[in-house]
Amino acid sequence: MTLFHYSRVHSLENKWVLPPVHSIVCLRNLRVGRVHDLSHSSQYVQSLALCTLACMGSAEMCRDLAPEIERLLRASNSYIKKKATLCAVHIIRKVPELAELFTPSARTLLSEKNHGVLHGAVVLITELCKRNPDTLDQFRKAVPELVQIMKGLVTSSYSPEHNVAGISDPFLQVRILRLLRILGHNNDTASDAMNDLLAQVATNTDSSKTAGSAVLYETVLTIMDINSESGLRVLAVNILGRFLLNNDRNIRYISMTSLQKIVQTDHNAVQRHRGTIVDCLKDQDTSVKRRALELSLALVSAVNIRSMMKELLIFLSFCPPELRSQTASGIFNAAERYSPSKRWHIDTILHVLTTAGGDVRDETVPNLIQLITTASELHCYTVHKLYRALVKDIAQQSLVQVACWCIGEYGDLLLKGECEEIEPLQVTEDDVLDALETVLQSHMSSPATRGFALTATMKLSTRIIDNVDRIRSIVSIYGSCIDLELQQRAVEYNALFKKYDHMRYPAVLERMPVMDKNSPGHTNGDTPGEIKEPDTSKPKPAEAGLTAEQYTPTTTSSADLLDLLGGLDLKIQYDKQTETEVTVSLIASNSTQNDITNFTLQAAVPKSVQLQMKAPSGNVIPAHGLGQVTQTVLLNNPNKVSLKMRIRVSYSNQGAMHQDTVQIDSFPSTACQPSISPL
């Protein structure tokens, strides 16, 4: 190998860069097996050979020269020993099975006084422990030695050669702390041996300089990853809390990232820095804001829900657009878990919808509607508040949809002009219809929003007195709408006015019942006309007001249909026409002493089944079994799923209205009177 002056070799991140010609010469000589340079009398020639192998050595070369490198680890020259140590690290990474060759020598290197050799030894041991967990027990015996080395660095006097900003060899300190983190993980003995050292480093290291912050940060990570004492963990969290006050945004970002990882295990310790974390929401850097938002949401609890939500709602009003959706979802989830009252919960969600309604997720609208239905005592308050919001701004689509739904359901409460929880509005029927028409005609309204507004308008036909003709006129306009969904709704609503006006109220347009919800933060996944598998473990009472178009599944209980309906006999007859299509006839007869009037029947099936109901043969069932009413239902079952059906029966007997829901769990092969479970 051609020897050239050492100053032409440059070091970068422990890797050595050689001039191209000399690199090729070194590589060629090593490939043909010439190991003379590794045994050369000049340390610089040996150094060049070691650097070449460490930078460009292939797996084959590493296998051939590994014994020579292991020999050089025991050399008397510290300069060569340092280079051989780093070369051994490269060999282990290239050929992991050679790690055992360097294990005995690596332990002895810890007794060296030279900082460079010590640094290389710690890197080598760290690599050995990562590559082969079986060596952990062997190197855990060296924890006391590592602790002594670290203590010497912490307490050593000023040393210009290894000092950086007043910190003695911070690079070596960081490497030792990382190795201690590996050795102390899930090991009580090793953790106990380093607890005092970590406390000493955490309290005596100056964090005003970057070098000191680096050492402290590694100390915190080590404390959190080993089986450390609780007091030591609190000290680590406090260090991260001090980092939050640093002017360097990178340090603040790293601090919050670390706090985010430990907030679940050390929640109370992190809570002490809640104020500082919330202040970081005002940072100019978006990445810092994002980390502060995630950490703030993780700190929300039942104790601080009101104060934290106030800060988060303020942040929502000025946060970057890319963070609005995350902020809104986090607020919704926190309110779902820790809301102190339903009114507070509703107010919070409405505030979010007013501020960032366009950035909320799709499940927000059904979740809020479900919440409103459960708070029966707040229906008047909610409809008044939503009507105000609707009149003020129709740009927030989610807010408009919920407002339209509430007006359709509880419009009569709005028109009464009486509300204890809020100053009531004095509005007329025309005012309410004007607001809904504005939504229907606005270019900002999405098709889904128009659907909500049209349904609300139709529902008001049973809740107002003087403007039914106006509602009929509004609905008829959309019978030729270009949007097929809106057109279909309008056509069906027109049919209710013309052919089935007797079914319009109370059966079809009555108030929705309380909706079920499977879990916090999620909708129950149902679509109109859908049936879920019943949960028989939690029986519930019958719920009124369900239709085929607006169906909320409930649970079943065991009872006989005849006992439930008290003399109203329901038979089911079906004819299998094809593999996927079935025609079902529902035949009702009356064995009581009085005629049954206003008889209506609705049905709902699983969402994978298509249902079409024909017009009934009538709505009066004569007494003593002298007549019957037949309702034909067409079922299209393309997926060939198990057929189930839920039926809602409404009727009047001696002037009193009755309403019941039943479920058919299986279809017989011939006409019969099946066992049907009421809901």
Compute the mean pLDDT over every residue in the chain, rounded to the nearest whole number: 78
Say which residues have a Cβ less than 8 Å from residue 285's Cβ, sequence separation at least 6: 249, 253
Single out the residue of 672, 418, 477 nearest to residue 561, CA to CA.
672
pLDDT for residue 669 is more than 70: no
CB atoms within 10 A of CB 112: 18
In a domain, 446, yes or no: no
pLDDT reported for residue 157: 59
274, 292 Cβ separation under 8 angstroms: no
Q: How many domains does the chain have?
A: 1
In a domain, 276, yes or no: no
Q: What percent of the chain has pLDDT over 70?
A: 83
In a domain, 500, yes or no: no
Q: What percent of the chain has pLDDT over 90?
A: 15
Which is higher by pLDDT, 409 or 20? 409
Torsions phi, psi of 105, nearest 5? -70, -35
pLDDT reported for residue 534: 38
Whole-number Cα distances in Å, 435 to 220, 363, 452, 594: 59, 25, 13, 46
CA distance 329 to 337: 12
By mean pLDDT, which of 35-49, 232-246, 358-372 is the weakest?
35-49
In a domain, 595, yes or no: yes
In a domain, 583, yes or no: yes
pLDDT for residue 12 is more than 50: no
pLDDT reported for residue 516: 64
- For the record, the structure tokens of 673 come out as 């009177």
Which amino acid, one-letter code, is at 614? K
pLDDT for residue 477 is more than 70: yes
Report pLDDT digits (tens) over 55-95.
877 888 878 788 888 888 887 888 888 888 888 888 888 88
Report pLDDT digits (tens) over 361-415.
878 888 889 889 888 888 999 999 999 999 998 888 899 999 999 999 998 888 8
CATH code of the domain covering residue 624: 2.60.40.1230
Q: In Å, how far from its chain's centre is CA 509?
A: 36
pLDDT for residue 543 is more than 70: no
362, 325 Cβ separation under 8 angstroms: no
DSSP secondary structure, 321-349, as one string: HHHHHHHHHHHHHHHHHH-S-HHHHHHHH
In residues, how long is the chain?
679
In a domain, 355, yes or no: no
By mean pLDDT, which of 126-130, 323-327, 521-525, 640-644 is the weakest?
521-525
In a domain, 642, yes or no: yes
Report pLDDT digits (tens) over 198-223.
888 888 888 788 888 888 999 999 89
In a domain, 483, yes or no: no
CA distance 76 to 134: 30
Element (H, E) at 131: helix 115-131
CB atoms within 10 A of CB 151: 14
pTM score: 0.62
Residue-range definition of the domain harbouring residue 649: 561-664
